[in-house]
Structure 1
Amino acid sequence: MREGVEWAVHCCINLSWVSPDRAVPAARLAEFHGLPAAYLNKQLNALGRAGLVSSRSGPRGGFRLGREPEEITLMDVAVAIDGSARAFLCTGIRHQGPAGGIADLAGHRTPCTVAQAFSHAELAWRHNLASRTIAELADTVRRANPAAPDQVRRWFDRT
């Protein structure tokens, strides 16, 4: 997973604490975490294409959540940034070289144990990310630091 996923999740949490009628410029979001604005803007645009954030141009422009934080899962963010390609791709090496005769038992191709293991692990990972929302993470942060939402709002309200 690329670092852009981490950046996007943090931005979504921050945007969940900002008034829904307030758009936050990408440069301001980048400044908040000390990130390169141009690269973060690419991540935010990817979130926009997925409908997770919306953008407004102009002097009061910027980004805001495109859906309620309860409706945005970590899987939504990961797919928006990294795509939906499988993490593990079996190339079928067990059918090559001398191992090829061993892999085919009694002339029947059996499922690849390695591919199955990675597939099951990835499925569990995807299910876990799909079950976690931005609202849930924001609440966890808020419980650990009750002042965080107000501090974030005040910081983004500064000009």
Structure 2
Amino acid sequence: MRMGEGVEAAIHCVTLLAGLEEGATLPASALATYHGVSQSYLLKHLQALAAEKLLESVPGPRGGYRLARRPERISLLDVVLAVEGPCPAFRCAEIRQRGPGALEPAAYVKPCGINTAMLKAEQAYRAVLAETKISDVVAGYEADADPRSIAFGCAFLARHQRPQAASSRKEQE
């Protein structure tokens, strides 16, 4: 089972956005630069995350992206489903009912054992993804990463984040 590369990019973007100051945004161009991917490639994943209300897309000169929920309220499964969609990764095509040894459809009353096993495995990995929050990923990174990497990320955010506009701050007060 293989997830698209967009899942990795999306999770990395969400974890980086978790480090923004309250109300600040980060432009898609900065996210693309930070992760070494093309902006056009990344935009479709950012838009999918925004459509699922994991990210907020803020238009205008102070615009960009920011988390729409707190990091402890976003699971890895939320991100995976936003990018990949809700369909199971394994899709049984019932090939056991094809070929020279295939029987009549009535002979296949029981579900395909391979499909059953694959769906069970998918349920297990989705359960782990659902219980793993972005805040857990960030905390693990902060505990284990090379301090130079953390310093670079913090400096990058400080340089590229766009502070909340003054009128928006007054509206929230």
Aligned to 2:29: 27
User: Given that residues 18 and 153 in structure 1 are in contact (C-alpha distance below 8 angstroms), is that contact kept between their aligned partners in structure 2?
Assistant: no
Q: Find runs of 4+ consecutive structure 1 residues off by over 6 angstroms.
A: none
With 47-56 and 88-97 compared, the bigger mean Cα shift is at 88-97
Determine the C-alpha separation between the residues in 1 that align with 2:125 and 2:157: 33
Instruction: Measure, in 1, the Cα distance between the counterparts of 2:53 and 2:151.
Output: 26
The answer (yes or no) to whether the contact 1:26–1:37 under 8 Å persists in 2 is yes
Q: Quick check: 1:47–1:80 contact (8 Å CA) kept in 2?
A: yes
Structure 1 residues 109, 5: closer, same or farther in 2, change over 3 A?
same
AA matched with 1:158:
R
Rounded to whole Å, the distance in 2 between the matches of 1:112 and 1:20 is 50
The match for 1:8 is 10
C-alpha displacement of 1:109: 1.6
Deviation digits for residues 74-104 of structure 1 (CA, Å, limit 9, x no counterpart): 1100110111111111122222344333996
Q: TM-score, normalised by structure 1?
A: 0.89
Give the structure, 1 or 2, with the largest relative contact order (CA under 8 Å, sep 6 or more). Answer: 2
Identity across matched positions, percent: 36
- RMSD over equivalenced CA pairs, Å: 2.0
**Would you say how many aligned residue pairs link Structure 1 and Structure 2?**
157
Counterpart-to-counterpart distance in 2, 1:112 and 1:79: 25
Q: Which runs of 5+ in 1 are unaligned?
A: none
Q: Which runs of 5+ in 2 are unaligned?
A: 161-173
Q: 1:149 to 1:70 in 2, by over 3 A?
A: farther
* Displacement of 1:131: 1.1
1:142 partner letter: E
Q: Distance in 2 between matches of 1:86 and 1:47?
A: 19
Structure 2 match to 1:117: 117
Q: For the structure 1 residues 93 and 158, does the alpha-carbon distance in structure 2 shift closer, same or farther, using more than 3 Å as the test? A: same
Q: How far apart are the structure 1 equivalents of 2:49 and 2:25?
A: 14
Of residues 70-79 and 87-96 in structure 1, the stretch that sits farther from structure 2 once superposed is 87-96
Cα deviation for residue 108 of structure 1 reads 6.5
Q: Is the 8 A contact 1:94 1:103 kept in 2?
A: no
Q: Distance in 2 between matches of 1:126 and 1:76?
A: 10
Residue 54 of structure 1 aligns to a residue in which SS? strand
Deviates more, 1:148-157 or 1:6-15: 148-157
TM-score, scaled relative to structure 2: 0.82
CA distance 1:94–1:103, change in 2 (3 Å) = farther
Letter in 1 for 2:157: F
